[in-house]
Copies of this chain bind each other. A is one copy, B any other.
Amino acid sequence: MPATPIAGPAIYAVDPWVRGIPKARHQLLSDDERALLAKISSIVRFKKGETIYQEGDAAEAAFNIISGVVTAYRRLADGDHVSSFVYQGDIFGLSEQGCYTNSAKAATAVVAYKIPLSALRRILEQHADLDIDLIIKLCEGLREAQHHALLLARKHAATRLAMFLELLERLQIARGEPAAEIHLPVGRSSIAAYLGLTPASLSRALRTLTSRKIISSRDLRHIRILDRAAFQKVADTNGAGP
């Protein structure tokens, strides 16, 4: 009975409830676990704009962000595709057959734990608790990737933008930050690359929502939702997937 691989995100059944006792999403690691990880990992710093690793490099370590934001992306013949914005507490450094499967660069100044893969392997073999927590993190990542695909399937630029702003707001709330205003972690072109739009189209989409008084922006990095009902309508119904 040979089992076989996947055609898609075919996983799951495990989430923060898996252990019966829900953990807050932001507090997956216990103090003991943190101590353990700290012992085997070093702290590294990156300047804004610095490349952390590139697709195809030999993967020797994973990273766990202490502060700052990292952009994970793939370099394509015709420009980059941003696959995610990685925040404080998140793990990144996905590898396949010993090589990184994407590139990563610091969107802001970044401080992170650098965890050698060899050490990580050892830990995982012994520490069942950490396994579970990693599984939970993976499920979150999987859901995020699925959400990204859902977003990209939307036809209208304004809908994609609204879904993205919704996501940022949700994450801000989950992090316990004030959410009256949505903070954009990166510049327009990176957001456009995440949304599958050109910077020009993104700009127009912002303009559309702004002129309809659905959102307003204090500056390039801060957006406020003025008309929640209209906003939801744009995010939900409009711009249908075909």
Segment touching B, from A44-52, A94-102, A211-219, A223-231:
A94-102
Is A187 in contact with chain B by the CB < 8 A criterion? no
Contact A8 B237 (CB under 8 A): no
Complex Cα–Cα for A94 and B92 (A)? 22
Instruction: Name the residue among A28, A78, A79, A242 with the largest chain B CB count within 10 angstroms.
Output: A242
Instruction: Name the residue among A85, A94, A115, A153 with the largest chain B CB count within 10 angstroms.
Output: A153
Given contacts A3-B27, A4-B175, A26-B3, contact A92 B241 (CB under 8 A): no
Chain B residue with minimal CB distance to A242? B198
Is A124 in contact with chain B by the CB < 8 A criterion? yes
Is A90 in contact with chain B by the CB < 8 A criterion? yes
Chain B residue with minimal CB distance to A137? B11
Q: How far is the CB of A198 from chain B (nearest CB, A)?
A: 4
Contact B236 A1 (CB under 8 A): no
Contact A242 B196 (CB under 8 A): yes
Residues of B within 8 A of A91 (CB): 10-13
Instruction: Name the residue among A11, A83, A193 with the largest chain B CB count within 10 angstroms.
Output: A11
Chain A window 48-89, contacts with chain B (Cβ cutoff 8 Å), 1 for yes, 0 for no = 000000000001011010100100101011111101111111
Residues of B within 8 A of A29 (CB): 3
Chain B residue with minimal CB distance to A20? B121
Q: How far is the CB of A99 from chain B (nearest CB, A)?
A: 10
Contact B145 A4 (CB under 8 A): no
- Residues of chain A whose beta carbon lies under 8 Å from any beta carbon of chain B: 1-20, 25-29, 34, 59, 61-62, 64, 66, 69, 72, 74, 76-81, 83-98, 101-102, 115, 117, 120-121, 124-126, 128, 131-132, 134-135, 137-146, 148-150, 152-153, 167-168, 171, 174-176, 185, 192-193, 196-198, 201, 236-237, 240-242
Counting from the closest, the 9 A-B pairs by CB-CB distance are: A8-B84, A78-B240, A12-B94, A3-B89, A13-B62, A145-B145, A10-B90, A131-B131, A4-B89
